[in-house]
Structure 1
Amino acid sequence: MSNKSKWEGKTRGGLSGHKIFVFILNTFGLHIAYFFLRFVAFYFFLFSKSTKTSLNYFRKIHGYKGLKAYGATYQNYFLFGQILLDKVALLSGVKTNFTINHDGHNENLANLKSSGKGSILLSAHIGNWEIAGQMLDSLNTKFNVLMYDNEVEKMKEYMSRVMGKKSFNVIAIRDGDMGHLVELHKAFANNELVVMHGDRYLPGTATIEKNFMGKLAKFPAGPFVMAAKFGVPITLVFAVKETKNHYHFFARKPIEVKRARTKEDTDLVVKNSSDQYVRELEFMLKKYPTQWFNFYDFWK
């Protein structure tokens, strides 16, 4: 569908993009920044290489036709920009009046701490996971973010300054380096939460193929293999933007996982837990189609 057919392990926008957003917020405030964002989103709509990919996503995956596909593509860029602004505002302490509808927070997240073995919180590039992070503050437990990012060290240093005392630990996955497994073991042993996304992978890493939104797509096997190897539950979490000032936070019932002792046990955990993840991802994508922020051909 597009020549950009894979994710390259780098967060869209990068460090310079975050600095620009911080400057806009500090100078103009959030809602004035939204106004300027309309022009930025339109610029990307006209000139970004990923516009063709986004148009095909709405046409081939959601069946949008004519102007509806173009309108959804522009809205996709505009919402992505809003969420970046919201993210920086939240992390840097800019005053906001966001409201959040909690769906499953008390009954599904509150019990995780009592399990005594940590948990994987699995999300996707839908909506704004930083809002989910705000929900984790109430659990009074440390959480770690596992991420692929070529700029992770610079981003960690910069965002720690922006965030002040609101700290979290970033566990970076690097080519040929298994250090993240040691950090994961420590985190789970300390009954900590590990937040990760299950909808991107780097070339060469293990994947599983699933029927997703009516077409075959590949997903990283890593989160599900980790759950099997460490014997920790997987809780699916999402936070989506429903209006300018309102978010909806979802925390699904934890997928209980027994520690796998054999390859067959591991394969079964991977299949069952990934099936549940893909079903939930389909639900979210159908309900919030313009908040899918994978700007490459996911189904190729």
Structure 2
Amino acid sequence: MSADWKQRPEGGSPFALRLLRAIARVGGRGVARVCLYPIVLYFLIVRGPERRASRDYLARALGRAPSAWDVARHIHTFAATILDRLFLLSGQMQHFDIQVHGLDELRAVHAHGGALIFGSHLGSFEALRVLARTAPEVQVRVVFDRSHNPAMTRLLDALDPKIAAGVIDAGQDGPSIVLAVKQALDEGALVALLVDRARPGEPWLRTPFLGAPAPFPIAPWLIALTLKAPVLLAFGLYRGGARYDLVFEPFSDGSAVARQDRSRVLAGRVERYAARLQHHAVSAPYNWFNFYDFWHADDAHEGTGRDPADDAAPLGAVAGASRRHQHHLGGSHHSGSEPVRPA
């Protein structure tokens, strides 16, 4: 994400989060959803950068000029998934109709040991909670930065202390994160992280996405290559009301890649990932929750720094790759996948 966006304040004070949780606990999901409308109105009136980012993205995903109603629906979808996190993380699955696609494929990969699950800020990653019911034999470990949005982190930790205890903190140094991920994989866990945001100074590839090149981080893919871990993609798409589609797609098998082929393989995987992300974004356009100028982020860092295929890159870059992965309202003129290196 761009440096300017990183400095944008979060939408939601600790008091507001506690109030929403109290309303949800006392009145239930139906009553709490009524509170979403003033939240949407607030973002429409006050948060201009998010509103403009929504319009830019929707124009690409919808293939037309979005209306004010489209922008409101986009923000409402985001707010609805945030509210549903309170219920999903507290185990109240009875409120939801979650259809799981690709579970047999996930089990087939998991039968051979641990694997990486790569998600995105498209839909709700918390829909993975349904695995506790449909595949209780699967252990899921989540990677995110606990220091980002501490109010939300404390709230979610209180809702599900078991998940909180298993979190791999992306606020650690790079080698510590890689070692923690490797240990979890060796124990047969599925390690889940979001891979669609590149931080300032982090190595990334600019690859086609919704009509223009956009920067995608390469550190997660370097981790997968370094640890020789299979990768599955996961999309928890909100379909309105209480309906979600949780989709798993096997992506790569963890085979070893020769060092001289690493840059080519990285570019190919990032480009394939962007294509799958685009497919699902078009199928569920209001599910995109990167509320910043996604296509032009980090332009100031373009073309500087060291080779991202360096053997040390996974350890140095991973610290930034998995940070700021809690949802929050938060291309250039050439095409193709192009390596971009950090300052």
Tell me which interval the TM-score lies in, with the shorter structure as reference length: 0.7 to 0.9
Q: State the one-letter code of the partner of 1:228.
A: L
Q: State the one-letter code of the partner of 2:74.
A: N
Q: After alignment, is 121-130 or 247-256 more displaced?
A: 247-256
Q: Report how far residue 152 of structure 1 moved.
A: 7.1
Give the 4+ runs in structure 1 shifted more than 6 A: none
Indicate how the Cα distance of structure 1 residues 259 and 113 shifts in structure 2: closer, same or farther if over 3 A, else same.
same
User: 2:17–2:152: 8 Å Cα contact kept in structure 1?
Assistant: no
Query: Residue 73 of structure 1 is aligned with which of 65, 68, 71?
Result: 71
Separation (CA, whole Å) in 1 of partners of 2:90 and 2:175: 32
Matches within 5 A, 1:205-284: 205-262=202-259, 264-284=260-280
Aligned residue number for residue 291 of structure 2: 295
Q: Report how far residue 216 of structure 1 moved.
A: 1.0
Aligned residue number for residue 119 of structure 2: 123
Aligned residue number for residue 86 of structure 1: 84
Matches within 5 A, 1:1-300: 6-7=5-6, 13=12, 18-49=17-48, 50-60=50-60, 62-65=62-65, 68-94=66-92, 96-105=94-103, 107-116=104-113, 118-135=114-131, 138-151=135-148, 157-165=154-162, 169-174=166-171, 177-262=174-259, 264-300=260-296
Superposed CA RMSD: 2.6
User: 1:185–1:230: 8 Å Cα contact kept in structure 2?
Assistant: yes
Q: State the one-letter code of the partner of 1:121.
A: I
Instruction: Provide the secondary structure at the position in 2 that maps to 1:281.
Output: helix
Q: Which runs of 5+ in 1 are unaligned?
A: none
Indicate how the Cα distance of structure 1 residues 95 and 146 shifts in structure 2: closer, same or farther if over 3 A, else same.
closer
Q: State the one-letter code of the partner of 1:299.
A: W
Indicate how the Cα distance of structure 1 residues 177 and 252 shifts in structure 2: closer, same or farther if over 3 A, else same.
closer
Q: Which runs of 5+ in 2 are unaligned?
A: 297-343
**Over residues 76-110 of structure 1, what are the superposed CA-to-partner deviations in whole Å (9 max), with x where a residue is unaligned?**
111111111111112124474311122111x2111
Separation (CA, whole Å) in 2 of partners of 1:69 and 1:253: 36
Separation (CA, whole Å) in 1 of partners of 2:177 and 2:193: 13
Q: After alignment, is 142-151 or 9-18 more displaced?
A: 9-18
Instruction: Provide the secondary structure at the position in 1 that maps to 2:240.
Output: coil
**Identity, % of aligned positions:** 21
Q: Report how far residue 236 of structure 1 moved.
A: 0.6
Q: Report how far residue 9 of structure 1 moved.
A: 10
User: 1:229–1:266: 8 Å Cα contact kept in structure 2?
Assistant: no
Q: State the one-letter code of the partner of 1:270.
A: L
Q: State the one-letter code of the partner of 1:197.
A: L
Q: Report how far residue 148 of structure 1 moved.
A: 3.7
Q: After alignment, is 126-135 or 77-86 more displaced?
A: 126-135
Separation (CA, whole Å) in 1 of partners of 2:11 and 2:173: 23
Q: State the one-letter code of the partner of 1:112.
A: V
Q: After alignment, is 224-233 or 7-16 more displaced?
A: 7-16
User: 1:59–1:69: 8 Å Cα contact kept in structure 2?
Assistant: no
User: 1:144–1:171: 8 Å Cα contact kept in structure 2?
Assistant: yes
Separation (CA, whole Å) in 1 of partners of 2:80 and 2:13: 16
Q: After alignment, is 160-169 or 241-250 more displaced?
A: 160-169
Q: State the one-letter code of the partner of 1:51.
A: R
Instruction: Provide the secondary structure at the position in 2 that maps to 1:29.
Output: helix
**Over residues 220-252 of structure 1, what are the superposed CA-to-partner deviations in whole Å (9 max), with x where a residue is unaligned?**
101111110000111011111112011111111
Indicate how the Cα distance of structure 1 residues 87 and 158 shifts in structure 2: closer, same or farther if over 3 A, else same.
closer
Q: Report how far residue 297 of structure 1 moved.
A: 0.6
Relative to the length of structure 2, the TM-score reads 0.77
Separation (CA, whole Å) in 1 of partners of 2:245 and 2:198: 26
User: 2:13–2:151: 8 Å Cα contact kept in structure 1?
Assistant: no
Number of corresponding residues: 293
Separation (CA, whole Å) in 2 of partners of 1:153 and 1:39: 23
User: 2:184–2:191: 8 Å Cα contact kept in structure 1?
Assistant: yes
Instruction: Provide the secondary structure at the position in 2 that maps to 1:217.
Output: strand
User: 2:3–2:200: 8 Å Cα contact kept in structure 1?
Assistant: no
